[in-house]
Amino acid sequence: MKKLIVFISTFLLAVELIASAVSFKAELSHSKVAVGQRFRITFTVNASGGNFTAPRFDNFRVLSGPNQSNQMQYVNGKVSRQYSISYILVGTKVGKFEIGPAVITSDGDKIESNIVEIEVVEELSGNAAQNQRDAQRNQAADELSKYIFIKAFIDKKSAYVGEKMTLTYKLYTRLGMRSLNLEKLPDFNGFWTSDLMKDQPRLETEYINGEVYQTAVINQYLLYPQRAGNLTIDPLSMNAVVQVRGRNSRSAFEAFFGSYETKELTLNSPSIKVDIKALPKFSGDGEFSGAVGKFDVKISSNKQELKANEAIDLRYEITGNGNLPLIGAPELNFPPDLEAYDPETTNNFSSSAGGSSGKKLFNYLLIPRHKGKYVIEPHAFTYFDLESKRYKTLYTDSLAFDVKKGDEEANVVYESNRRKEDVEILENDIRFIHLNQLSLLDQSESFCGSTTFYICILALLLLAVLLYFISKKYKAQQSDLVGRRKSRAKKLAKKRLSKALKFKDAGEDSAFYQEIGDALYGYYADRYNMGMADLSIEVLLDKLRSEGASEDLLKMLNECIEQVDIARYAPGSAIATEELYKQALNIIEQTEALGR
């Protein structure tokens, strides 16, 4: 028994020692990337350490790092820590590469991390590349979910078929926004939809759990359910490029306000489940119109007396609030001798978060063929009233027409797709053969083989050759996407700067600074064929140095970006807007002069 106790104690001690052993490992965010694609390498140690020595990153370019983070856990009365150091790298050439071990000192011992392998290819297949981009964006969204997210609001979780519902998507952010673009709309299966967003989103300030968020309604939809059951509204996806506070500072400004890096992420709203109830079974007279809401109807005409073969307009008007966009033309019972054509529909209603309200008009063109008294009987219009949860039937007035004798011998032609002003009376419906002053061709003459024939053939050949060279030149231009993007960089930047001037003149300083920053980052993104998320001031300065830019230009660019950041992240700072505009314009002009 004593030996058993000793064995168990020894075993538990060994387990504890193994568990407490120092672990220092390297991990890659991707095992396979394309040339120019970013990836992350992270070195993690589960104990305190120092004198970290990074491996050589040959064949790679360092975009960011070392970035440090630490995590503490309290489990079963014991505290454990993890320290991480990460780098953002970009592959510069094709091949399979090893990244050697990093070295760290812990308790006086030098510990090496494991060796990792990564493959860099010329270009990833479409699906793999897209999956990796999506994974990167989703990971960034998870990391920043407390600072930026989208909420979906619906005004009711239960409704009848045809009853209006209002869906609103709202953005919440505590980060600086560089861009926000729609990635994917919900499918809205089972709903008729109308987009209510007509203006640009407006930023507002909200407090949530003591934190200040900038908010904006980014999408709003009016929904009319088309079928009963438990329906799901899929998430809305947006692509965002944001600025995140970094850990390293390059200047006194960054040491005070913090440095920033750009991240691209995909934001997804939560899905929404709603219960749609079927309308009660209709058992009244006539037919249900499909209208749901509160309505009124009336009928009128522009004439009570007319002659046979003259046209008359009959107007059927539906007024109210409800699913007006989905109401179709009523089927009216017309007398047999009253010729009726398909109605023209006029929508005179507006849609808002409160539903669709106004009028819907149906204009019928009628033509009586014979004299006499014509009567259009009252029409029954049945709709489902949401207040009483019952069907209601409204009746229009009857209409009577007194038709007198007309010119029944006239040949009148009517077309169902024409209005009365298009109705045309043909005085002559037979055209006789013309016998005089005819110019006829001799049967012996032939166009094929004539001089004109060969001239036409030659012209067609020349045209084909010309089109070939034009097409070849156009394809060459289209294939040079990088060159096209670089050539338009200056033009687009100047347009953004002109827009910034308008904001300055209007006193909108925040929009002015945003536009200046976007002009500079957008210009260099186009010039170097890079994504906005891949840009940072370090990358820009490296690119410009490789082109032989002067230190004055580098300093000017760095100061300009700093001033924009000061103005955006420290409102009220005294920065001369006119000087900032001239400085940005000067930077672009000097950059354009490089390499000439």
Q: What pLDDT score does 164 carry?
A: 94
pLDDT number for residue 523: 86
Question: What span, in angstroms and rounded, lies between the C-alpha atoms of 209 and 83?
Answer: 30
Q: Tens of pLDDT along 205-235?
A: 888 888 899 999 989 999 999 999 999 998 9
**Using an 8 Å Cβ cutoff, are 396 and 289 in contact?**
no
Residue 140, SS3? helix
pLDDT (0 to 100) of residue 361: 93
Return the closest-CA partner of residue 526 out of 595, 591, 478.
Answer: 591
Phi, psi of 255 (to 5 degrees): -65, -30
- Report which DSSP code applies to 5: H
SS3 content of the chain, % helix, strand, coil (to 5): 30, 40, 35
* Mean pLDDT per 10-residue interval, the chain, length 596 residues: 48 44 82 83 75 84 71 48 78 89 81 90 63 62 80 93 94 84 83 85 86 90 92 88 64 48 82 93 84 94 88 93 91 86 89 90 90 89 92 91 72 45 46 58 66 87 89 67 71 86 82 84 82 73 85 87 73 69 88 77
Contacts of residue 153, defined as CB under 8 A and 6 or more positions apart, other chains included, come to: 167, 168, 169, 170
Burial 500-530 (b: 16+ CB within 10 A, else e): beebbeeeebeebbbbbbbbbbbbbbbbbeb
Contact, 402 vs 304, CB < 8 A?
A: yes
Residue 271 is given by DSSP the state P
Quote the pLDDT of residue 153. Answer: 93
Number of H helices, E strands in the chain: 10, 33
Among 65, 63, 68, residue whose Cα is nearest residue 49? 68
How far is Cα 151 from Cα 165, in angstroms, rounded to an integer?
Answer: 17
pLDDT, residue 148, reads: 87
**What local confidence, expressed as pLDDT, does residue 432 receive?**
54
* Residue entry with tokens 């000192």: 105
Question: Residue 19: what pLDDT?
Answer: 42
Which residue type sits at 55? P
Cα separations in angstroms, 150 against 119, 199, 266: 36, 19, 10
CB 521 within 8 A of CB 49: no
The pLDDT, as a whole number, for residue 419 is: 46
Helix, strand or coil for residue 132? Answer: helix
Q: How far apart are CA 283 and CA 310, in angstroms?
A: 40
The type of residue at 65 is: G
What is the pTM assigned to this prediction?
Answer: 0.51
Report the run of H or E that residue 494 belongs to, with start and end. helix 489-505
Give the span between the Cα atoms of 215 and 195, in whole angstroms.
20
Degrees to nearest 5, angle at CA 323 with 318 and 326: 85
Pairwise CA distance, residues 344 & 342, whole Å? 7
DSSP 3-state of 156: coil
Number of residues that make up the chain? 596
Q: What is Dmax (Cα atoms) for the chain?
A: 136
Closest CA relative to residue 112, chosen from 31, 23, 48, 20: 23
